[in-house]
């Protein structure tokens, strides 16, 4: 049987009960819904995030910087519970008017610097500390191109495939097929590129790999959207699997991807290396 058809009204109106798992927090307007100040720790870098694929990008980079000896990259990571609407608090909205995690405040200068959107945060930190982004062209152009490529693909994988495959209140063939096709095309782009070079931007590990691993890592590990890795036959992308297993084996990646997450083996908040050490040694 084909999917039921829908005739859009002349003017769309918001139905609060429609939207599946996230219906209680999604809304068609921006801005704060309540007053709530953000906490602040002792380090210059204050991260407000959640360990989603986008959130993991920043904590992985911060852990990579610390592993590389950049002591100035010490940070406090505060959990923003998007399921409870923390992203609509006045403090968070003042850092990111788009109410999406992650968001970063840098207090290292005279005037605090706010940075929002995961790709912007990665580039800011990489440039600030001179690590994980090439300084000269054409290598820099290649890295930035793959970084922006990842940013452009995330909505198709998450808001498209992930939503209709795992989160929508009902499963329909058309949107699942539509976004499965696009996700597999994206995986194929990465697989072909990684057949040419060790990492996305070339021979050196960079923020392009960190950004992509936030999303592709779950497929490689087999823990994205339930059993989506089987549905999409991710194992058939051999170059992507090789890269994902190599990146996933990095100590800093393993540390960064458990930050700002609830549950056993996870770190709800991170204020020092010991917060992660305790969990990993348990």
Polymer length in residues for the chain:
282
- pLDDT on residue 23: 65
Digit-coded pLDDT (tens) for 212-232: 999 999 999 999 999 999 999
Residue 206's closest CA among 267, 157, 259, 250? 250
Q: What number is the average pLDDT over the span 89-108? A: 98
Distance between CA atoms of residues 121 and 114, nearest Å: 9
Candidates 100, 115, 137; CA nearest to 45 is 115
pLDDT at 4 over 90: no
- The answer to whether 41 and 7 have CB atoms below 8 angstroms apart is no
* Phi, psi for residue 76 in degrees, rounded to 5: -105, 130
Q: What is the pTM of this model?
A: 0.95
Q: What is the pLDDT of residue 18?
A: 63
Q: Is residue 190 scored above 80 in pLDDT?
A: yes
């Amino acid at each position: 049987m084909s999917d039921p058809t829908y005739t859009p009204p002349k003017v769309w109106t918001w139905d609060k009960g429609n939207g599946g798992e996230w219906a209680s927090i999604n809304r068609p307007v921006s801005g704060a819904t309540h007053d709530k100040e953000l906490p602040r720790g002792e380090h210059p870098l204050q991260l407000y995030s959640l360990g989603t694929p986008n959130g993991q990008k920043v904590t992985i980079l911060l852990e990579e910087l610390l592993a590389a000896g950049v002591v100035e990259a010490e940070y406090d990571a505060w959990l923003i519970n998007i399921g409870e609407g923390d992203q609509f608090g006045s403090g968070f909205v003042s850092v990111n008017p788009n109410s999406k995690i992650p968001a970063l405040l840098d207090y290292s200068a005279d005037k605090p610097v706010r940075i929002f959107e995961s790709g912007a945060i990665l580039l800011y930190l990489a440039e600030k500390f001179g690590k994980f982004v090439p300084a000269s062209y054409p290598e820099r152009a290649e890295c930035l191109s793959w970084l922006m490529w990842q940013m452009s693909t995330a909505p198709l994988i998450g808001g498209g495939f992930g939503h209709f495959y795992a989160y929508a209140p009902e499963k329909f063939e058309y949107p699942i097929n539509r976004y499965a096709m696009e996700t597999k095309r994206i995986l194929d782009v990465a697989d072909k590129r990684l057949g040419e070079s060790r990492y996305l931007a070339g021979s050196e590990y960079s923020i392009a790999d960190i950004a992509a691993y936030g999303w592709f890592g779950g497929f490689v590990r087999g823990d994205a959207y339930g059993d989506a890795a089987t549905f999409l036959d991710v194992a058939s992308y051999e170059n992507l699997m090789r890269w994902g297993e190599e990146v996933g084996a990095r100590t800093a990646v393993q540390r960064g991807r458990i930050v700002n997450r609830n549950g056993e083996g996870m770190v709800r908040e991170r204020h020092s290396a010991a917060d992660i050490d305790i969990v990993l040694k348990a």
